[in-house]
Amino acid sequence: MRTVLTVAGVAVSTAMLADMLMLGGGIQQSFGELLESRGYELRVSPKGTLPFDTEATIPGWGTLRDSVEGVVGVGRVAPVLAMSVSAELEGGEAGGSGDVTRTLGLGLDAGNRSLYEVVEGDGPGVGEVLVDARLAEALEVGPGSRMRLGIASEFGTWGRSASVRVSGTGDFVFATARDMPVAMPLADLQALSGKEDEVSFAMIRVGADADPEAVRAGIAGVADRVEVVTLAGISDKLDERLSYFRQVAVILGSVSLFVAALLIGTITAVSVSERLGVIAAVRAIGVARRRVVGDLAAESVVLATVGGGIGIGLAVVVAGYLETILAGLPGLPVAVRFFVLRPESLATAYGLVIVSGGVAGLVPAMRATGREVTELLHREEP
């Protein structure tokens, strides 16, 4: 029974350790993969910010764009204007609630579909908008519906508004649980917001043979009032911001490993103390000490291997459950995963538990077999 309980304890500790290892690097990896999947190697954003960080914009974009496009190695430039917008279903056959919804509006160059995948209908043309599929479902709109868009703030809708046709629905790759964006032509959103020559950030695709770092330096040389970062740079900045997660993961992971070792060490110590007579007898027979120690440590390794194996399976299940809870965390894209199932994380957790279990078992085994055989025999024999 106590062996079963120990195996269960080791399994839980291993699961926690594996989950913490997955959590420790999961977001960075997942976010990095998401960024790379868009096919743009550089980002240009207002000084001191990252894309989607703030509502700050880059003024004088027309001139800056010309400068950026003139840098050697720059392939394609894809500007994005991101503004809070209000969306309201216009009356008509489509019906709807008529409620005003505040959401994120994305202004993109014609043909730039890097921030969304079309689910139904088509991308937005002039006077059109592509609506997040979740928002479309909530507002009961679809291709052909008409909506009224305005610029939203904390205090309500202000300025101009425009009637637009819904061209289609889509999944936005950087959408958070709360933000269900709409995409429209850049010029339309600029006109609506009155920021005719401004963008929030731009994505830069470098040429086939160009070095992203060299291109980044080139752009930084001609545009000193913006932040130019590579994907690696964004990952590094994200890494800094998520250091809290990593620290928590390291601490909890270490505690889990310690608990697993403690469990195995304790049961080995108890088991060894109950078998001192047999250990003494086996050594008296002439079995070498290292062999006895090896056999006892092997029992610990078996415990760690079985418990750890179960724990790895448990880790996968728990990670899936925790992922569903954390997916709703505000401010992070829904597509970003907290727990990335990486074989190396699972292998590391499993290996650490087995090694620490073996070492934890080794200590009582060494202590027991290090005692004088005659002393143990005197104790164990009446």
Partner 1 sequence: MSIIVTARDVTRDYQRGRTRVRALRGATVEVRRGDFLAVTGPSGSGKSTLLHLLGGVDVATSGEVSFLGEDLGRLSVEARAALRLREVGLVFQRFHLLPMLTAIENVELPLAAARVPRRERRDRAAAVLERVGLADRLRHRPSQLSGGQCQRVAIARALANDPALVLADEPTGELDRATSRRVLTLFQELNASGTTLVVATHDLELAAGATRRIEVVDGSTRP
Helical (H) or strand (E) element with 350: helix 343-369
Closest to partner 1 by CB, 196 vs 375, is: 375
CB of 13 to partner 1, least distance (A): 26
* Angstrom distance (rounded) from CA 267 to CA 354: 15
CB of 280 to partner 1, least distance (A): 7
Q: How far is CA 42 from CA 22, 31, 78, 225, 232, in A?
A: 27, 15, 10, 16, 9
Closest to partner 1 by CB, 326 vs 377, is: 377
* Angstrom distance (rounded) from CA 127 to CA 165: 6
Bridge pairing between strands 156-172 and 146-153: antiparallel
CB of 374 to partner 1, least distance (A): 4
* Angstrom distance (rounded) from CA 256 to CA 302: 18
CB of 307 to partner 1, least distance (A): 19
* Angstrom distance (rounded) from CA 61 to CA 265: 65
Which tokens hold the place of 239? 């890494």
Closest to partner 1 by CB, 296 vs 340, is: 296
Closest to partner 1 by CB, 23 vs 280, is: 280
CB of 377 to partner 1, least distance (A): 7
CB of 293 to partner 1, least distance (A): 13
Q: How far is CA 302 from CA 165, 255, 305, 357, in A?
A: 66, 21, 5, 9
Closest to partner 1 by CB, 242 vs 279, is: 279
- Give backbone dihedrals phi and psi of 298, rounded to 5 degrees, phi first: -65, -35
Closest to partner 1 by CB, 165 vs 289, is: 289
CB of 276 to partner 1, least distance (A): 10
Closest to partner 1 by CB, 178 vs 378, is: 378
- Applying CB under 8 A, the residues found at the interface with partner 1 are 277-278, 280-289, 291, 372-374, 377-378, 380-382
On the 0-12 / 13-18 / 19+ scale of CB atoms within 10 A, 382 is: exposed
Terminal CA-to-CA distance of the chain, rounded, Å?
29
